[in-house]
Structure 1
Amino acid sequence: MIKKFLIDYPIAAALEAGKAILNIYNSTNDIEVVHKADDSPLTKADQAANDVINRYLTQTEYPIISEENKQIPYEVRKNWDSCWIVDPLDGTKEFIKKNGEFTVNIAFCKNGKPTFGVIYVPVSRELYYGDVDSGMAFKTMVSSEHTLVTPLFMSSDRLQPANSPSTSLKLVGSRSHMNPETEAFINKMQNQFEKIEIVSKGSSLKFCMVAEGKAHMYPRFAPTMEWDTAAGSAIVEALGLKVTTGNTEEPLVYNKENLLNPYFLVSM
């Protein structure tokens, strides 16, 4: 089991960040949006959540890779054996659309591998977390004040993936990234299964759907960054599921020189 403070800090940070996000989400019908250099959207909620998370995680000895922090050169990062990887508001486009499908993602990584991950869904108050070393992942409901009301790691909260599909396969995909590569993968699966069902979800909720057995696979043949996937990778890998690169079938590696992920597949 991972050290207790490496569980308590990210969970507390995720819950408080979720509360900060919802304060902005619920305060106005018009969400102010600016665009970063790569044209991705940024809101005050992204920045508020990042401030909260930094306040918690800087109390640990480990450095932080966050989408909203200034990026640290690889010449420095390559010497890290452990770090946090954070997306303070994953699904900013979903946040702007006000469909509720956005999350707070925090992962602890050691030697390029996520070992503990937290995904918090502020609108539904669902807290997902997984510890790879113990081989367990959980979903805990929290209060309307975004605080824990039951102990963590309760057996009743333990996640269970779906059984291996026989005739019917359920895939989860992005609302925004149904491209030719994804369609080609679906066509390939149609040769193996009698029925293919495709469910669309935003943000890292796609990992969560596989983790709790609502989908069998998550093919991602579109760009993602490490902070989009690290927490979800930890949660599904804690359940014995695989996150493999599309071209080599090797596990995703983190704290790479280029923080852009290759295409990948979440599967059994």
Structure 2
Amino acid sequence: MINDKERMYLLPHLFNAAVRAGAAIMSIYKHRDDYDISLKSDRTPITVADRLAHRTIREYLGPTRIPILSEEGREMRYEERCNWELYWLVDPLDGTVEFIKGNNEFTVNIALMENNQCIGAVIYVPYFRKMYVAGRNSGSYLKEAVAPDADASYTYEEIVHDWTRLPLRREAHHDHLRVAVSRSHQTPETQQHIDRLRLQHPDLEVVEQGSSYKFCMLAEGSVDYYVRTTHTFEWDTAAGELILSEAGGTTRSLPGDSELKYNEVDLHNPWFVCRSKFCTL
């Protein structure tokens, strides 16, 4: 188990890797003709920004000598990774569809996993210059005005200076239930789930949002509930789940009401629902 000194050493690596990846993404984002869009084997899109962000993170985190399991890295057999005690779980560009659409709703997700449990996480939203940070049993925080920077080298002291503990009090209370759904990945089951909620909450408001930013909105308290009934992968949820958990929220499988598991043979997640700290459902 890593100690507090090691956590303080690794947090800047998490933070700076995400900021540098965000800079790589934004360098491509403003040049729509250079996206170089193709399809992966699962028919999901990938762009040059995904590849560049992955390479940036890999090169920056490499000196930690901690293995990396990344959406855009090489495919690793379960036998190769099943005994990892410590590893980085990375989605270099979460929300590629939103990136392609140009709606600004994309993130960089990096989770530090110990014995298949997330112990440290960042989600960076480069367009909005927001960084969400969490440590297991250490709280969840928002640091604003973090500009994309290809040479980011924040120290631990600079990271923790003027960040804000989550949830945000100004976002915490609504006069109606606010339910987040994926902007680009919805199914009839999503709508059926919302229809059931609407029976008890007729004034329910649906909030469409791309990428793992939904976890951050839950952690802030700006939305109350999030349902996902399409495929996601472990790298889509690990960082967001810790950020939400440390802000007092929960993530549970649907159906089953169990915790999500990591470093499984199949890296797909089950369907799931998330609740903010203030959700009474």
Give 2:123's match in structure 1, choosing from 111, 119, 126. Answer: 119
For 2:140, the aligned partner's letter is M
Aligned match of 2:91? 87
Aligned match of 1:136? 140
Q: Distance in 2 between matches of 1:160 and 1:209?
A: 9
Match of 1:58, SS state, is helix
Aligned match of 2:201? 193
Q: Distance in 2 between matches of 1:198 and 1:68?
A: 31
Please list every run of at least 4 consecutive aligned residues from structure 1 whose deviation after the TM superposition is greater than 6 angstroms: none
1:153 aligns with 2:157: no
Contact 1:103 1:205 in 2 (8 A): yes
Contact 2:37 2:46 in 1 (8 A): yes
Give 1:74's match in structure 2, choosing from 78, 84, 108. Answer: 78
Q: Distance in 2 between matches of 1:15 and 1:192?
A: 42
Using the TM superposition, give the Cα deviation of residue 135 of structure 1 relative to its aligned residue in structure 2, in angstroms.
Answer: 2.6
Match of 1:152, SS state, is helix
For 1:254, the aligned partner's letter is Y
Contact 1:139 1:158 in 2 (8 A): no
Q: Distance in 2 between matches of 1:116 and 1:64?
A: 14
Give 1:239's match in structure 2, choosing from 237, 247, 272. Answer: 247
Q: TM-score, normalised by structure 1?
A: 0.92
Give 2:14's match in structure 1, choosing from 2, 7, 10. Answer: 10
Give 2:67's match in structure 1, choosing from 63, 66, 85. Answer: 63
Aligned match of 2:41? 37
1:172 aligns with 2:180: yes
The alpha-carbon distance between structure 1 residues 52 and 61, as it changes in their structure 2 partners (threshold 3 A), is same
Using the TM superposition, give the Cα deviation of residue 5 of structure 1 relative to its aligned residue in structure 2, in angstroms.
Answer: 2.1
Contact 2:19 2:149 in 1 (8 A): no
The alpha-carbon distance between structure 1 residues 164 and 23, as it changes in their structure 2 partners (threshold 3 A), is closer
- CA deviation vs aligned residue, 1:54-85 (integer Å, no higher than 9, x gap): 11222113211100111211112111122111
Using the TM superposition, give the Cα deviation of residue 241 of structure 1 relative to its aligned residue in structure 2, in angstroms.
Answer: 1.1
Deviates more, 1:202-211 or 1:57-66: 57-66
**How many residue pairs get matched?**
267
Contact 1:10 1:118 in 2 (8 A): yes
- CA deviation vs aligned residue, 1:209-267 (integer Å, no higher than 9, x gap): 11111100111111101111111111111112111111221111111111000001111
1:266 aligns with 2:270: no
Aligned match of 2:113? 109
Using the TM superposition, give the Cα deviation of residue 131 of structure 1 relative to its aligned residue in structure 2, in angstroms.
Answer: 1.2
> Normalized per residue, which structure has more helix?
2
Contact 2:22 2:148 in 1 (8 A): no
Contact 1:21 1:49 in 2 (8 A): yes
Using the TM superposition, give the Cα deviation of residue 155 of structure 1 relative to its aligned residue in structure 2, in angstroms.
Answer: 5.8
Q: Distance in 2 between matches of 1:171 and 1:215?
A: 6
Aligned match of 1:204? 212
Percent of residue pairs identical? 40
For 1:40, the aligned partner's letter is T
Match of 1:89, SS state, is strand
Q: Distance in 2 between matches of 1:253 and 1:50?
A: 24
Using the TM superposition, give the Cα deviation of residue 15 of structure 1 relative to its aligned residue in structure 2, in angstroms.
Answer: 0.4
Q: Distance in 1 between matches of 2:252 and 2:10?
A: 25
Match of 2:63, SS state, is coil
For 2:199, the aligned partner's letter is N
Please tell me the root mean square deviation across aligned C-alpha atoms, in Å: 2.1
